[in-house]
Amino acid sequence: MKATIKSAFAVLAAVALVFGCVARGESGARQPGGINESPAATAGTIKSGYVLVNGLNMYYETQGTGRPLVLIHGGMCTIDICFGKFRPPLAEKWKTLAVELQGHGHTADIDRPLTFEQMTEDTCALLHQLKIENADVVGYSLGGGVALRIARREPQLVRKLVVIGTPTAYNKDGLVPGLLEALKTMKPEDIPAEFREAYARTAPDPKKWPTLVAKVMKMLLESKGLRLEELQSIKAPVLVMLGDADGVRPEHAVQMFHLLSHAQLAVLPGTDHFLPMKRSDWAVPMIEAFLNAPMPEPKKEGDK
């Protein structure tokens, strides 16, 4: 009986960590080409478009005005699902730029594997084409792994960084026991219907769902993640956020907090991996306070 309960928990944790999203209604899909606008926006009109990067027609949306704030979603979800509750209050004070990574949402998949390194390169190229630099960045779950790599790869692009529910690597050191084993047996039909339906509404080719699931699972299982010295090389201030019931171990978040040069740590009580959707009323004020605080003084050589 205990083994069955543990197995069920591992599967639920795997679903939560991989998909980084919960059921939420979406508006109709926006079509490729040009700029589209949606009048239903709390903090101003949502504008959308595509940028061709590395052979990928990458989708993005902007909302709000002010300093740029880049939003990078979790695995298997869309902008609306991951950031539907999260984005509007932030768009009242920042110009939010939300992207959809390879094979996710409106961004069609292409004939290449999914890797953190490639998604990082794609996102950097998109930011360059849109002339975005020195932006604040929020990365959720899988998107946090991309965000950390952007800050390391091209530090001039990132002013401050928020990572939510993100291990430095998808391995046994950062995740709850049993989660990786659950990933190995995950099938497309195991994914909640709401996620499949969201994909069907937005994806250019909804039949590619099994391919996307297989690619994401392969990436998570094979990724070596960031080495500790790579994490230490990130100089941008970082807010590490997670729920105390996340699939990422709190001890791992504490380790990240200590390794980063300028870091803050927020562990939300009674909160699982769906923090941006379930606890946006808690998380957004914390993120606003972090982003609005003065930049820290650069550490001198020999400082701890």
Q: What is the pLDDT of residues 4-32, one digit of tens each?
A: 333 334 444 454 445 444 433 333 334 34
Rounded Cα distance, 291 and 228, in Å: 25
pLDDT of 32: 41
Surface-to-core class of residue 277, CB atoms within 10 Å of its CB (0-12 exposed, 13-18 middle, 19+ buried): buried
Torsion angles phi and psi, residue 299, rounded to 5:
-75, 140
pLDDT of 198: 83
pLDDT of 207: 95
Residue 188 CA to its chain's centroid (Å): 21
Which of the residues in the chain have pLDDT under 70? 1-43, 168-172, 299-304
Fold of the 2-292 domain: Rossmann fold (3.40.50)
Pairing of strands 56-63, 46-53: antiparallel
| Helix boundaries (H) for the chain | 2-19, 79-83, 87-91, 116-129, 142-153, 179-184, 193-202, 209-222, 228-232, 250-259, 275-278, 280-292
What's the pTM?
0.87
pLDDT of 169: 55
Residue 178: count other Cβ atoms within 10 Å of its Cβ. Answer: 18
pLDDT of 222: 86
pLDDT of 298: 73
Torsion angles phi and psi, residue 293, rounded to 5:
-65, 150
Q: Given CA atoms 182, 107, 48, 32 in this order, what sign does their dihedral have? A: negative
